[in-house]
Amino acid sequence: MAEKVGEVKDLKVGSYVMIDGEPCKVVKVTKSKPGKHGSTKARVEAAGIFDGKKRTLLKPTSASCKIPIILKKGAQVVSMTGNVAQLMDLSDYSMFECSIPEDLKDRVQPGKEVEYWEIGDRKMIKQVK
């Protein structure tokens, strides 16, 4: 999976982080004060981008963490079968299948253009243009 290395102290609400090998969006960040024998710790609560599960990361603020590289691309819907859409990338004309999110089911139709995110080898439809 494509990712870069960042620091825990730089994470903010709305940023992205890898927790347990899953790309997540940060929902809440709380930092504790340094104690007598320790450093400042950060508790990062995040929700998985693909599955929506809540995950927690507890590390010192000076520790490093992995940040996913998100590629935002455009595609055209070629066909639909149930809740799976066949898409054609608008830049290299490659074909692939992607599941349709529940909130976009009524708007995704053949012939329409969509924006999708590619994170590593996984893809998801984010919006209809």
**Per-residue pLDDT at 1:** 59
- The DSSP secondary structure of 41-74, one letter per residue, reads EEEEEEEETTT--EEEEEEETTSEEEEE-EEEEE
**Per-residue pLDDT at 69:** 93
pTM of the model: 0.82
Give the DSSP H/E element, type plus range, for residue 88. Answer: strand 84-89
**Per-residue pLDDT at 106:** 87
Residue 42 CA to residue 63 CA, distance in Å, equals 10
Q: What digits encode the pLDDT tens for the residues 103-125?
A: 888 888 899 999 999 998 899 99
Q: Which CATH architecture has domain 70-128?
A: Beta Barrel (2.40)
Region 3-68: CATH code = 2.30.30.30
Region label for 103, one of left (φ > 0), alpha (ψ between -120 and 50) or beta (otherwise) = alpha
Among all chains, which residue has been given the structure tokens 């691309």?
Answer: 73
Q: What digits encode the pLDDT tens for the residues 4-29?
A: 999 998 999 999 999 998 999 999 99
Residue boundaries of the structural domains of the chain: 3-68, 70-128
Cα→Cα distances 111→2, 76, 107, Å: 30, 6, 11
Q: What digits encode the pLDDT tens for the residues 52-90?
A: 899 999 999 889 999 999 999 999 999 998 889 999 999
**Per-residue pLDDT at 74:** 95
Q: How confident is the model at residue 129 (pLDDT cuts 50, 70, 90)?
A: confident
**Per-residue pLDDT at 36:** 76
